[in-house]
């Protein structure tokens, strides 16, 4: 019996149509739009000006605080504008617009380096590299990595979990990365284990990626400290708390962090970025993005420069097919529809999903029939139908008592609801109000 988390969860159709497609490299875009709020926390501060010439990998926006991150130029070129652009949040945010210099040869250099196994940097330098090179969580939450690695004195971390679950349907970015960069990922894990004095690491992979499990098992044969754990396919296993429960049977306390139970969780993409930053001094300026959809001519996985407009990617796979209803930034469960295709790829974009009318449209909500399906599937053990009602009626204090803030917004409740009720919409709304009330109280 394969491991998994016990409470709730669903199994939507996997639709991993790009699983066999090797990661291609996107051509360098003519213009990149780099938003300064690509991570959770304080937006970075712009340190370039209009008409400035920037080199590839140069810091263009400096970290605005502890929970913030540096942003580096993904191309060599000239800053043409500092403008407001609609980003994946649906709102206009400050952006640095850089026109690529086609004559500059550094744009054409592919950052593919020979594998470097020996770790030469000291513990302090490794953490400094991770901070300086703008590494954030690439699983989608974009939490600055150095914050996660800053272990408080009273905490003891004994296990590092590597998240290779990729439980979102359609997405295959992490899957391909594990297949193609397995050795680098293992070195990345060793770097983190060395930097934080952790003795044990587990890579969690869902069992629908058997090839990735095999490749990583082979790569870790010589290293007994790193284990590969095959997990039963269940959404939302990629969520930190569910993954820790599945692999180690430890329960993160309500409102707590993985560190409270002695665990640090990092995505495989982040681990690869850490490898690049520590071993090859490469800042985080590109990532793997799955561009997929059932009607696409040529869905695939790409290495994409941060700041590439989504329309460039869509063109690469043969344009927007007829009858397209939504273009989603991310996967179908947690992703968010974008407003237009000018929206740039950011550090948190793991996939672009193009879906047609039949898949996209939401059905008319009907009355709750008290079937309690939502309660069965909630991985956090909440009562979504109750939380929705409380938010709808404005009973926010009761919603807070019913632990609305522990909701991880996985959307399992909305997925199973036979009455098509907008459960997550209202819960998210309730959360936003409760958060406001809490901050005003403090």
Contacts with other proteins, residue ranges (CB under 8 A): 84, 86, 89-92, 336, 339-340, 361-362, 365, 422, 425-426, 428-429, 432
CB of 392 to other proteins, least distance (A): 8
Residues 6 or more apart from 1 whose CB is under 8 A from it? Answer: 232
> Are the C-beta atoms of residues 317 and 302 closer than 8 Å to each other?
no
CB of 69 to other proteins, least distance (A): 24
CB of 388 to other proteins, least distance (A): 10
Rounded distance, CA 418 to CA 202, Å?
A: 37
Rounded distance, CA 138 to CA 185, Å?
A: 14
Nearer to other proteins, 59 or 328 (CB): 328
Nearer to other proteins, 302 or 426 (CB): 426
Nearer to other proteins, 197 or 361 (CB): 361
Nearer to other proteins, 143 or 396 (CB): 396
CB of 86 to other proteins, least distance (A): 7
> Are the C-beta atoms of residues 239 and 246 closer than 8 Å to each other?
no
Nearer to other proteins, 84 or 371 (CB): 84
CB of 139 to other proteins, least distance (A): 22
Rounded distance, CA 223 to CA 146, Å?
A: 26
> Are the C-beta atoms of residues 64 and 85 closer than 8 Å to each other?
no
- Strands 351-356 and 324-329, by their bridges, are antiparallel
CB of 80 to other proteins, least distance (A): 15
Alpha helical stretches, state H, 226-290 = 240-248, 268-280
> Are the C-beta atoms of residues 57 and 277 closer than 8 Å to each other?
no
Closest CA relative to residue 71, chosen from 134, 162, 129:
134
Closest CA relative to residue 107, chosen from 115, 116, 97, 98:
98
The angle subtended at Cα 236 by Cα 234 and Cα 238, nearest 5°, is 100
Nearer to other proteins, 8 or 331 (CB): 331
CB of 432 to other proteins, least distance (A): 6
Residues 6 or more apart from 251 whose CB is under 8 A from it? Answer: 241, 244, 245, 261
CB of 188 to other proteins, least distance (A): 35
- Residue pointed to by tokens 């939490």: 143
Give whole-number Cα distances, 326 to 14, 148, 310, 323, 339, in Å: 19, 34, 13, 9, 9
SS3 43: coil
User: Strands (DSSP E) along 383-427, which ranges?
Assistant: none
Give whole-number Cα distances, 355 to 114, 161, 249, 298, in Å: 38, 33, 37, 14
Cis peptide before 369 (omega within 30 of 0): no
Nearer to other proteins, 63 or 88 (CB): 88
CB of 362 to other proteins, least distance (A): 5
Token representation of residue 109? 């250099």
What φ, ψ does residue 148 adopt, rounded to 5°?
-65, -30
Rounded distance, CA 399 to CA 390, Å?
A: 6
CB of 88 to other proteins, least distance (A): 9
Angle between helices 182-196 and 173-180 (to 10 degrees): 90
Nearer to other proteins, 207 or 419 (CB): 419
CB of 438 to other proteins, least distance (A): 17
CB of 428 to other proteins, least distance (A): 6
Nearer to other proteins, 158 or 342 (CB): 342
User: Strands (DSSP E) along 178-272, which ranges?
Assistant: 200-206, 226-231, 263-267
Nearer to other proteins, 84 or 369 (CB): 84
Nearer to other proteins, 222 or 367 (CB): 367
Nearer to other proteins, 133 or 426 (CB): 426
């Amino acid at each position: 019996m394969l491991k998994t988390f016990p409470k709730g969860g669903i199994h939507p159709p996997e639709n991993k149509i790009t699983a066999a497609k090797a990661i291609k490299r996107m051509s360098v875009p003519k213009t990149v739009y780099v938003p300064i709020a690509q991570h959770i926390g304080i937006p970075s501060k712009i340190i370039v000006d209009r008409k400035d010439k920037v080199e590839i990998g140069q810091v263009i926006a400096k970290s605005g605080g502890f929970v913030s991150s540096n942003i580096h130029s993904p191309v060599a070129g000239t800053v043409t504008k500092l403008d407001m652009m609609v980003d994946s949040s649906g709102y206009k945010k400050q952006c640095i617009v850089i026109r690529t210099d086609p004559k500059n040869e550094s744009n054409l250099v592919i950052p593919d380096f020979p594998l470097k196994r020996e770790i030469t940097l000291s513990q302090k330098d490794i953490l400094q590299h991770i901070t300086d090179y703008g590494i954030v969580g690439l699983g989608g939450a974009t939490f600055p990595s150095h914050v996660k690695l800053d272990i408080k004195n009273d905490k003891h971390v004994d296990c590092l979990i590597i998240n290779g679950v990729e439980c979102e349907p359609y997405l295959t970015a992490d899957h391909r990365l594990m297949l193609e960069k397995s050795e680098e990922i293992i070195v990345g894990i060793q770097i983190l284990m060395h930097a934080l004095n952790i003795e044990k690491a587990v890579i969690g992979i869902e069992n629908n990626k058997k090839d990735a499990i095999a490749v990583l098992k082979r790569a870790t044969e010589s290293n007994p400290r790193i284990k590969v754990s095959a997990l039963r396919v269940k959404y939302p296993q990629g969520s930190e708390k569910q993954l820790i429960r599945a692999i180690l049977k430890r329960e993160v306390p309500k409102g707590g962090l993985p560190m409270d139970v002695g665990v640090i969780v990092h995505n495989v993409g982040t681990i690869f970025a850490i490898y690049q930053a520590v071993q090859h001094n490469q800042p985080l300026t590109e990532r793997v993005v799955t561009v997929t959809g059932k009607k696409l001519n040529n869905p695939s996985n790409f290495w994409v420069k941060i700041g590439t407009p989504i329309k460039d990617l869509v063109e690469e796979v043969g344009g927007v097919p007829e009858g397209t209803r939504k273009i989603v930034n991310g996967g179908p469960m947690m992703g968010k529809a974008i407003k237009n295709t000018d929206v740039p790829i950011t550090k948190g974009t793991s996939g672009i999903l193009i879906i047609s009318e039949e898949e996209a449209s939401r059905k008319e909500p009907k009355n709750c029939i008290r079937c309690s399906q939502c309660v069965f599937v909630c991985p956090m053990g909440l009562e979504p139908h109750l939380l929705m009602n409380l938010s709808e009626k404005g009973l926010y204090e009761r919603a807070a008592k019913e632990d609305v803030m522990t909701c991880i917004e996985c959307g399992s409740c909305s997925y199973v609801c036979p009455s098509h009720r907008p459960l997550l919409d209202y819960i998210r709304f309730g959360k936003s109000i409760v958060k406001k009330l809490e901050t005003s109280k403090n």
